[in-house]
Amino acid sequence: MKSYFPEVKKIKYEGADSKNPLSFKHYNPKQKLLGKTMAEHFRFAVCYWHTFKGLGTDPFGGPTMLRDYNTSNDPMTIAEQTMDAAFEFFTKLGVGFWCFHDRDIAPEANTLAETNKRLDKIAKHAKKLQNDTGIKLLWGTTNAFSHRRFMSGAGTNPSPQVFAYAASQIKKAMEITKYLGGAGYVFWGGREGYETLLNTDMKRELDHLAALLQMAVDYKKKLRFRGQFYIEPKPKEPTKHQYDFDAGTCLAFLQKYDLLKHFKLNIEANHASLAGHSFQHELQFCADNGILGSIDANRGDLFLGWDTDQFPTDLYDTTLAMYILLKDGGFTTGGLNFDAKLRRQSTDPVDLFYAHIGGMDAFARGLKNAAKMIKNKRFEKAVNARYAGWNRTLGKKIENGKVGFEKLEAYTLKNGEPKITSGRQEMLENILNEYI
């Protein structure tokens, strides 16, 4: 088979002192921490859309990245070549999983029936490559946002015909995901949101979105697809107001429409920051509510207000994310998918390796730091000490609902001013630095 990355051999772990940029300095897939290997902790996945289909286009210019696999007059030949290149990349990088949108792996044809035939063909090819390499599908999803028919949303489109089209597309993408043994299926509400209330019935649109998800739940049962469903929150972009704003908004939506037992969340770092939250905040919110499912790893840019989808390199972010994930028990069906893209000027195929190696190493360092933080219990002890009053008489009575306003007033009249205790933030930040 033709090689699309001939200059790269299988990436190996060479340790922190290695100067080889095509090696892992920290990600050692076999190294065990807290009872699991690094590979088991992370379940790293590469995304198809940015890594193989994103070729550097931005609103001001076309592709900057020329790829051998992208050259043919026949779109299906390109699709097959891209799949070959993808599996060569996954294998050389040493990740266990991949993720795709239906339209990433096979281009749309003139009719839905023809498009679905293309999907069947390429899925067969993917299945063979999965069997040959042992690489698995973390999740599949639908692109119901790029085509012009979806300009006003898919499930929230004012037209029921578009809703029907989206439903048909999701049905097929679920089937392909099941066929490829996918561990999950993601719903990211591409254009599920609005630009102006002057033309929008928000309540009706949200009812329709819930109806679409309920249909997906019903069809999942029928299909006997056992993968986990995820919703991926994002506050804006492409629409001004996206309905899945953040984890809290998604939780309220799922509760309102009685869908909570069927979904977990896929938290993306850059989406969290667009919502004005930290990545850790969103992960902790999910952990606290039992809905932490999977992660789309990337980062934004402090100075840019959009979804820059850069590869993660910030060790504070990776350390705190892994700290929360480990405390939550780690991934089950989910994994860590790099929803990240090369900068437009990183034009060479080898840049894809540098980018992913950097992200995997950054998370490996985060994992090592977090494992130490968990073992040493310094933060756990500090948090427990801060809330210690809740384990004593007064706190227990409040938590157990044994007192009301009157008794608390009597207590306060008797005991006077509460004792002030320092939050010790700077000291704790210094301790965090000891781990980084």
User: If contact means CB under 5 to 8 A according to the sort of partner, which of ligand XUL, Co ion, none does residue 246 touch?
Assistant: none
The least distance separating ligand XUL from the CB of residue 221, rounded to whole angstroms, comes to 23
Q: Which member of 102, 104, 307, 309 is catalytic?
A: 104
Nearer residue to Co ion within complex by CB, 11 or 47: 47
The amino acid occupying position 134 is G
Q: How far is the CB of 333 from ligand XUL (least distance, A)?
A: 16
Restricting to residues 35-54, which ones interact with ligand XUL according to CB under 6 A? 49
Backbone angles phi, psi at 142, to 5 degrees: -110, 135
Closest residue to ligand XUL in the complex (CB): 188
88 binds ligand XUL (CB under 6 A): no
Which residues within the stretch 343-382 sit at the binding site for ligand XUL (CB under 6 A)?
none
* Residues 51-90: x where in contact with Co ion by CB under 5 A, - otherwise, as a string: ----------------------------------------
Residue 296 near Co ion by CB under 5 A: yes
CA distance 367 to 322: 6
Tokens for 196? Answer: 């102006």
Tokens 């561990």 sit at which residue?
Answer: 183
Residue 174 CA to residue 140 CA, distance in Å, equals 7
Asked if 102 is part of the footprint of ligand XUL (rule: CB under 6 A), the reply reads no
Binding mask 413-432 for ligand XUL (x = CB under 6 A): --------------------
When binding is defined by CB under 6 A, the residue of 80, 246, 307, 317 that contacts ligand XUL is 307
Q: For the segment 255-284, give every residue that binds Co ion (CB under 5 A).
A: 268
Q: What is the H or E stretch that residue 169 is in?
A: helix 160-179
CB of 294: closest distance to ligand XUL in angstroms?
A: 10
d(CA 283, CA 289): 10
CA 105 to CA 52: how far, in whole Å? 10
| Choice from 104, 232, 244, 317 touching ligand XUL (CB under 6 A) | 232
- Does the active-site annotation cover 201? no
Q: How far apart are the first and last CA of the chain?
A: 43
Helix-helix angle 279-288:315-327, to 10 degrees: 0
8-state DSSP, 50: I
| Contact partner, 234, from ligand XUL, Co ion, none, Cβ < 5-8 Å per class | ligand XUL
Residue 234, H or E segment:
none
Among the options 26, 41, 50, 101, which is catalytic?
Answer: 101
User: Do 266 and 293 touch, CB atoms closer than 8 A?
Assistant: yes
Q: Report if residue 307 touches Co ion, rule: CB under 5 A.
A: no
- Which partner from the list ligand XUL, Co ion, none does 175 bind, CB cut-off 5 to 8 Å by kind? none
Distance in angstroms (rounded) separating the CA atoms of residues 228 and 343: 32
- Residue 208 annotated as catalytic: no
Residue 307 binding partner per list Co ion, ligand XUL, none, with a CB distance cut-off of 5 to 8 Å that depends on partner kind? ligand XUL
# residues near Co ion by CB under 5 A: 3
Question: Do the bridges between strand 184-188 and strand 193-194 make them parallel or antiparallel, or are there none, so unpaired?
Answer: unpaired
Contact 331, 325 (CB under 8 A): yes
Residues 185-224 close enough to bind ligand XUL by CB under 6 A: 186, 188
Measured from the Cβ of residue 436, the count of other Cβ atoms closer than 10 Å reads: 11
Distance CA 205, CA 202 (A): 5
Regarding 234 and contact with ligand XUL (CB under 6 A), the answer is yes
Residue type, 322: M
Is residue 139 part of the contact set for ligand XUL (CB under 6 A)?
no
Query: Measured between alpha carbons, how far is residue 276 from residues 236, 406, 413 in Å?
Result: 11, 39, 40
Q: Which residue from 339, 363, 365, 366 is in contact with ligand XUL, where contact means CB under 6 A?
A: 339
| Least distance to ligand XUL, CB of residue 296, Å | 5
Using the rule CB under 6 A, which residue among 80, 104, 244, 268 binds ligand XUL?
Answer: 268
80 is a site residue for ligand XUL (CB under 6 A)? no
Structure token digits, residue 299 = 């980062």
Label residue 237 exposed, middle or buried (CB < 10 Å: 0-12, 13-18, 19+).
middle
Residue 337: burial class (beta carbons within 10 Å; 0-12, 13-18, 19+): buried
Q: Which stretch binds Co ion (CB under 5 A): 201-209, 246-254, 334-342, 378-386?
A: 334-342
Q: Which is nearer to ligand XUL, 15 or 305 (CB)?
A: 305
Instruction: Name the minimum Å distance from CB 117 to ligand XUL.
Output: 23
Nearest to 67 by CA among 359, 352, 360: 352
Q: Which residues pair with 299 in a beta bridge?
A: 310
Interface residues with Co ion (CB under 5 A) are 268, 296, 339
Interface residues with ligand XUL (CB under 6 A) are 49, 101, 141, 186, 188, 232, 234, 268, 296, 307, 339
Tell me the catalytic residues.
101, 104
